[in-house]
Amino acid sequence: MAKKKRGLKEEYNLLTRDLDWEPSYVPFEEMYPYVSFEGIKIHNWDRWEDPFRVTVENYVRIQAEKERKFHAIRENIDMMQSQLDLTDARWLEAMKLFAGVAFNGEYNAHRLFQYVSRHVPIPAIRFAAFTQSVDELRHVQNEVLLFNNYNKYFQGFHSWKKVSHRHWLMSVIKSFFEDAMTAGPFEGLAAIAFGFEVAFTNILFVTMGSTAMANNDLCYTAVGFTNQSDESRHMTLGMMAIRAMLEEDPDNAPIVQKWLDKWFWRSYRAFTAIAYILDYVAPKKVVSWKEAFEMYIEDQVLNGLFKDLEMFGIRKPLYYEQAIIEKDRISHQAALILHRVSHVAFFHTFAPTAEDQVWLEEKYGDTWRDVWAKKWEQQTDPNYERNYPGLPMLCQTCQYPMVFAEPEDIHKTAYRHSEYEGETYHFCSDGCKTIFDDEPDKYKEAWIPAHEILSGNCGPAEDLLNYWGIDPEDGGDYYESTDYKNFEKWKKMRA
Amino acid sequence: MANYTQVGSEAIKPIRKTYSYMSGLKVKRPTTYDECTYNLEPKENFHYKPIWNPELNIFDERRTRVKCEDWEQFRDPSKFYYATYCYNRADFQSRIKGQFEAADRYGWFEKMDPAFIDTVREFLPVLRHFVFGESVAFMHVGRTAVGTAIEQCATYQCYDELGTAQLLTRICLGLEEQVPSILQDGKQKWMEDEKFLKLRALTERLMVTWDWAEALIATNLVLDSIVYPLFFEEMTAVAMENGAIGYAAFSQFLMEMYEYEKSYTTALVKMLLADRPENKEVIQSYIKKWLPEVIEAAEEMLPVFDLPRKAIDGKLALENVLEKHVKPLLIDELQIVSSIQTRQVWEVK
């Protein structure tokens, strides 16, 4: 093609950022109305480069290749009835959570990155952000199609849309993404590209992926592998975005620090569900939450990524010490509360089996013996009322049930609160309280399920399960469920 | 494909075929496209108000003046979902690559008639900026359009526009040996040449057209239905007259991009007109606002038709575009306007 000898870099430049121009019929402030209100100062919009040098041509070629493989695998999984290869259908209780969380999460990320690409006029970031938007559409579509394989045979997947927008527990992740979508373009970018993708998705795809593989879950493995191949681009965008903000002006550092504080905590709290999956749901366990946290969050993020950002005056995110203290707590706290709410859940819960307990003791040692084993003993006592009366109280910020303990006292539940405009708001932690106190006008608007139900916004109380998209057979104990019985029956039939 | 396995006399049968909400889609049997397109967009129980637009929700039907009972019923006639979009465009890129290889082998660029090279350098590098501007407008259309099926089309179109801007750049790079400064000159023309100022003014205005349906209709039924056929059909015919196969060989790719936009936008407008009569007036107001301006912008660019050795009258080229593309679409098929004329008042039905 090009006869003139020029470097790839220069040619890439002509294919991307050279296309842009400085508008003269429309003022810059009208063209980019949201570019300045967050206070981020950018002096040289052109300096940044996409290290992947993605063009539309190479993108569609590479992605078409990946899609051909993925859809061949998807059809094969369906045809071979691979759901019967699972170690135990109990693993699917994790996948039901994943469906409720991820489908809508990916879709919202798709729409968020359309907004980011429109409103951040840094050409390299714009193109990478739009490409990410297209990737996220890929992820939600592939997940919806693939998980229909499970939906055909098991409960808990059939109404994921209602579940993800109405179910009380799904407010956690719905509010997480909506928080990012209602922020300015730079915060939205920092939130998802850095706070979520760079800091946390290794656990989602690598740790969860290997656990899924160990349990013969071909669906999640297929999705994990193929999504992960896009994530490396997303993580690079996240790093580029943070560096661009920090390098362009020292005044950006305090703003970025605040976002990193907030989104580290928000992402960390959201990942409690993953802790539960790794330590409890997985019939065959590979890595504990504690180990994954040490490997990815402590070593790679806190002592790696944040170290690299020190030169810009960035410190580790606020309350990271509490996250470290909590690493041998949160999976158990989540499991204990979920066990008590299976009558209002779209998935089954269960108490850890003898086999689970051996593993948990091996991984959690003293805290398991001293604290969690005892709590399970109490909770599984036949005289104990298993079902929680009503709905557990939720944190105003992260919207998890308030089950997390005081950092200094594992036996005492942490309660924090703030008064704002004559109202009292409750939080599970210092991290969540700080986020609220910083933007009370935003967080007071949260759609807190219990309040909405009481205000009559979710229909009549006796019809709540239906409102949430739950069939009677979706919840309850796993070992008493039709899912379990069918799985055992089908396995025998196939054997 | 069988959905069950026969083992002995018993069969393992699925307990359901698809997600329960799929019953809301008015189709006989949902396809893969339907299954991964329908109803993905959130509609309810939003937590916070956008700090950048607190009067509206995160997803909100009030971001356009047109209205619809159920936006999710829209179907893309091409039924593109991510996988099929990528398959289609990967194939498309292979065909483009083949044309570039042929151009290399047969010297289509080197042997192009100098007067025709002078014609191409006058507008082609300019259009890469125009198309890029449209892609920026479509990032907003994608974010704010209502319903997964519609925003999905806008997303693919946006990516296509980025691809088209890159394709035009690569064609220009093919001509660099003859015109080393083709891209720099093109950008300067885009910024300063009177022939293109009107088009640039419209493009910049399009980029701040926040009513997504207006931006979509203005681009796909007005701007592109004139600019694309003018340069990639009329000018292509001129190219053939002047032996400039290197130009003509790439025109089909541009026209294919236009055909995609046109097909889904036509389907969308038909759905909106059928949904409620008030939409007609709104859509007419979009057309009324953009069409005269776009025709005027096209007229400004017509002097490029004087440049080839065997030239044609640019006015005739524009007339052809209106007759062959714009009128059949807006007057006959959609019945949005009753007549269209150049530099004159038209009547709205």
Question: Residue B12 has what pLDDT?
Answer: 86
Is the pLDDT at B72 greater than 80? The verdict is yes
ipTM rounded to 2 decimals: 0.96
Question: Residue A348 has what pLDDT?
Answer: 97
Question: Residue A3 has what pLDDT?
Answer: 54
A319 touches B: beta carbon within 8 Å:
no
Question: Residue A229 has what pLDDT?
Answer: 86
Query: Is A7 inside any structural domain?
Result: no
Q: From the list B58, B82, B159, which residue is nearest A182 (CB)?
A: B58
Query: Is A244 inside any structural domain?
Result: yes
What is the average pLDDT across A84-90? 95
Listed by number, the residues of chain A in 211-240 with a beta carbon closer than 8 Å to a beta carbon of chain B are none
For residue B149, give the chain A residue with the closest CA.
A137
Question: Residue A2 has what pLDDT?
Answer: 45
What is the average pLDDT across A420-448? 97
Query: Is B51 inside any structural domain?
Result: no
B106 touches A: beta carbon within 8 Å:
no
What is the average pLDDT across A184-193? 94
Listed by number, the residues of chain A in 41-60 with a beta carbon closer than 8 Å to a beta carbon of chain B are 55-57, 60
The region of weakest confidence among A137-146, A193-202, A330-339, B74-83 is A193-202
Query: Is A4 inside any structural domain?
Result: no
Of the residues B25, B47, B117, B136, the best mutation for testing chain A's interface (the one with the most A CB atoms within 10 Å of its CB) is: B47
Query: Is B318 inside any structural domain?
Result: yes
The region of weakest confidence among A230-239, A315-324, B150-159 is A230-239
Q: What is the pLDDT of residues B12-65, one digit of tens each?
A: 889 999 999 999 999 989 999 999 999 999 999 999 999 999 999 999 999 999
For residue B130, give the chain A residue with the closest CA.
A19
Question: Residue B344 has what pLDDT?
Answer: 45
B345 touches A: beta carbon within 8 Å:
no
For chain B, the domain total comes to 1
CATH number at residue A332: 1.10.620.20
Residues spanned by the domain of A331 = 12-35+42-494
For chain A, the domain total comes to 1
CATH number at residue B277: 1.10.620.20
Query: What is the nearest CA distance from A383 to chain B, expressed in angstroms?
Result: 36
For residue A31, give the chain B residue with the closest CA.
B208
Query: Is A3 inside any structural domain?
Result: no
Question: Residue B6 has what pLDDT?
Answer: 52
Q: What is the pLDDT of residues B263-293, one digit of tens each?
A: 999 999 999 999 999 999 999 999 999 999 9
Query: Is A5 inside any structural domain?
Result: no
Is the pLDDT at B199 greater than 60? The verdict is yes
Of the residues A148, A396, A397, the best mutation for testing chain B's interface (the one with the most B CB atoms within 10 Å of its CB) is: A148
Is the pLDDT at B4 greater than 70? The verdict is no
Contact B19 A157 (CB under 8 A): yes
Contact A79 B1 (CB under 8 A): yes
Is the pLDDT at A385 greater than 50? The verdict is yes
A10 touches B: beta carbon within 8 Å:
no
Q: Whole-angstrom Cα distance, residue A398 to residue A483?
A: 31
* A-B C-beta contacts closer than 8 Å: 245
Is the pLDDT at B349 greater than 60? The verdict is no
Question: Residue A59 has what pLDDT?
Answer: 97
Confidence tier at A285 by pLDDT (50, 70, 90): very high
A61 touches B: beta carbon within 8 Å:
yes
- Flag whether the pTM goes above 0.90: yes
Question: Residue A4 has what pLDDT?
Answer: 58
Query: What is the nearest CA distance from B210 to chain A, expressed in angstroms?
Result: 11
For residue B179, give the chain A residue with the closest CA.
A4
Is the pLDDT at B2 greater than 50? The verdict is no
Q: Which residues of A touch B180 (CB under 8 A)?
A: 4
Query: Is A288 inside any structural domain?
Result: yes
Contact B18 A493 (CB under 8 A): no
Contact A1 B142 (CB under 8 A): no
For residues B346 and A253, the model is more confident at A253
Query: Is A328 inside any structural domain?
Result: yes
Is the pLDDT at B345 greater than 60? The verdict is no
Query: Is A2 inside any structural domain?
Result: no
Listed by number, the residues of chain A in 108-167 with a beta carbon closer than 8 Å to a beta carbon of chain B are 108, 110-111, 114-115, 117-118, 126-127, 130, 133-134, 137-138, 140-142, 144-145, 148, 151-153, 157-162, 165-166
pLDDT, averaged across chain A: 94
Residues spanned by the domain of B89 = 79-348
Q: What is the pLDDT of residues A339-378, one digit of tens each?
A: 999 999 999 999 999 999 999 999 999 999 999 999 999 9
Q: What residues have CB less than 8 Å from A425, skipping those under 6 apart?
A: A396, A417, A418, A419, A436, A440, A443, A444
Q: Which residues of A touch B155 (CB under 8 A)?
A: 110, 114, 133-134, 137
The region of weakest confidence among A381-390, B81-90, B148-157, B187-196 is A381-390
Is the pLDDT at A106 greater than 50? The verdict is yes
Q: What is the pLDDT of residues A124-180, one digit of tens each?
A: 889 999 999 999 999 999 999 999 999 999 999 999 999 999 999 999 999 999 999
A71 touches B: beta carbon within 8 Å:
yes
Confidence tier at A49 by pLDDT (50, 70, 90): confident
Is the pLDDT at A53 greater than 90? The verdict is no
Query: Is B296 inside any structural domain?
Result: yes
